[in-house]
Chains A and B, each alone.
Chain A
Amino acid sequence: AQTVTQSQPEMSVQEAETVTLSCTYDTSESNYYLFWYKQPPSRQMILVIRQEAYKQQNATENRFSVNFQKAAKSFSLKISDSQLGDTAMYFCALINTNAGKSTFGDGTTLTVKP
Chain B
Amino acid sequence: ETGVTQSPTHLIKTRGQQVTLRCSSQSGHNTVSWYQQALGQGPQFIFQYYREEENGRGNFPPRFSGLQFPNYSSELNVNALELDDSALYLCASSSPQREWVSGGYTFGSGTRLTVV
- Bound pair (A, B): yes
User: Which A residues contact B (CB, under 8 angstroms)?
Assistant: 4, 6, 33, 35, 42-47, 50, 52, 91, 93, 95, 97, 99-107
Over the window 10-35 of chain B, the binary record of Cβ atoms lying under 8 Å from chain A Cβ atoms (1 yes, 0 no) is 00000000000000000000000101
* Contact call B108/A105, Cβ cutoff below 8 A: no
Neighbour of A97 across the interface among B41, B43, B55, B101, CB < 8 A: B101
Neighbouring B residues of A46 by C-beta, 8 Å: 107
- Nearest A residue to B57, CB-CB: A101
Neighbouring A residues of B88 by C-beta, 8 Å: 43
Asked whether A50 and B102 contact (CB < 8 A) given A91-B42, A91-B43, the answer is yes
Neighbour of B105 across the interface among A4, A45, A103, CB < 8 A: A45
Neighbour of B40 across the interface among A91, A103, A106, CB < 8 A: A106
Minimal beta-carbon separation of B43 from chain A (angstroms): 5
Neighbour of A101 across the interface among B42, B45, B105, CB < 8 A: B45
User: Which B residues contact A (CB, under 8 angstroms)?
Assistant: 33, 35, 40-45, 48, 55-56, 58, 88, 90, 92, 100-103, 105, 107-110
Given contacts A44-B108, A50-B102, A101-B58, 17 further A-B contacts (CB under 8 A): A33-B103, A35-B103, A44-B107, A44-B110, A45-B90, A45-B105, A45-B107, A47-B105, A93-B42, A100-B48, A100-B101, A101-B45, A101-B56, A102-B45, A103-B45, A104-B35, A106-B40
* Contact call B108/A47, Cβ cutoff below 8 A: no
A100 to B55, CA, bound (A): 8
Neighbouring B residues of A47 by C-beta, 8 Å: 103, 105
Pairs of residues from A and B, 7 with the lowest C-beta to C-beta distance, nearest first = A104-B42, A45-B107, A50-B103, A100-B56, A44-B109, A106-B42, A104-B43
A45 to B88, CA, bound (A): 12
- 12 A-B pairs whose Cβ atoms sit less than 8 Å apart in the complex: A33-B101, A33-B102, A43-B88, A43-B110, A44-B108, A45-B90, A50-B102, A100-B48, A104-B35, A104-B42, A104-B45, A107-B42
Minimal beta-carbon separation of A75 from chain B (angstroms): 13
